[in-house]
Amino acid sequence: MPVTPAPFPAHRPRRLRRTSWMRDLTREHGLSRKDLIWPIFVRDGDGVEEPVESMPGVLRRSVDRVVEAARRATDAGIPIIALFPYTADRHKTPTCEEAWNPDNLINRATRAIRARVPDIGIMLDVALDPYSSDGHDGLVRDGRVVNDETLLALEKQALAQAEAGADILGPSDMMDGRIGVIRRALEANDFPDVAIMSYAAKYASAFYGPFRDAVGASRSLKGDKKTYQMDPGNTDEALRLVLRDLEEGADMVMVKPGMPYLDICRRISELGVPTCAYQVSGEYAMIAAAGERGWIDRDKVVMESLCGFKRAGCTGILTYFALEVAEAMA
């Protein structure tokens, strides 16, 4: 039951705010380096670090530089990185077969990191949009994203990523039934320890724009993704999708975007399931750009925004600020 405090002056809340050590002692929620997941963009080439124009400070890295980034992440205390490919147009097709090519960019990067930085966790995205000439997360037939045929492609993609050495698969496609298909495939092919972090509550959001630039999907996308990503006005639906994905074999769930959906994070975390949030590219870009212009104190806003995720009940946070935050906390 809630405690009813004594009336003033016996109860003076400012007593607990008087000094920094007192504030530290009574703080309800705190951020740790172990809460952070660092998304990294991978591209072809050698010795390449290419700025993403719409995400100040974020780079596309060639595989050799991704290995260096992984080593820097583990030195800073970040437990896991998430890799996303910038796929060349020549590898994009309507059938998306590059997604399950054992030697595609993301699988090569995974193997290289696993060989040289074995202690860091690796999370890979399961969706077809980086490999689709239509820019969609699923296969497109007659202008429509088809569900069941896409599941067969996602199964092959997931198995190729597990074989490459992924620790966590993050199905972000939002197709119906994909968690069950992937979990059964992992079990049947001797990958029982590969975890699934389902993007169970992924909203059809305008905050994804810079990410699509970073992976080269914006120039391919035809139409929008509203027939499979969630309506921003829905909350109960998010809970239904989370429960469905858990029943199908998900180990943890993702809310995406992050800050505009903290209410969803809270509701899901109250189910007792490990809940992560993705502070997406648009959220990052707003903070970074405003910080560059001196309109906000960038460092303080970054920390405040991440604390908000913890306060909402998140056990993990995907954020492009992860490395700078972890190194500042070291």
Question: Hey, which residues are catalytic here?
Answer: 202, 256
Q: Which residue has the tokens 């810079």?
A: 210
Query: For the residues of 44-100, what is the DSSP string, one character each?
Result: SSSS-EEE-TTSTT-EEE-HHHHHHHHHHHHHTT--EEEEEE---GGG-BSS-GGGG
Q: How far apart are CA 270 and CA 264, in angstroms?
A: 10
- Closest by CA position to 78, among listed 113, 129, 26, 42: 113
Cβ 139 vs Cβ 163: under 8 Å: no
Q: How far apart are CA 90 and CA 286, in angstroms?
A: 32
Return the structure tokens found at 326. Answer: 């972890």
Contacts of 97 (CB under 8 A, 6+ apart): 131
Cβ 131 vs Cβ 96: under 8 Å: yes
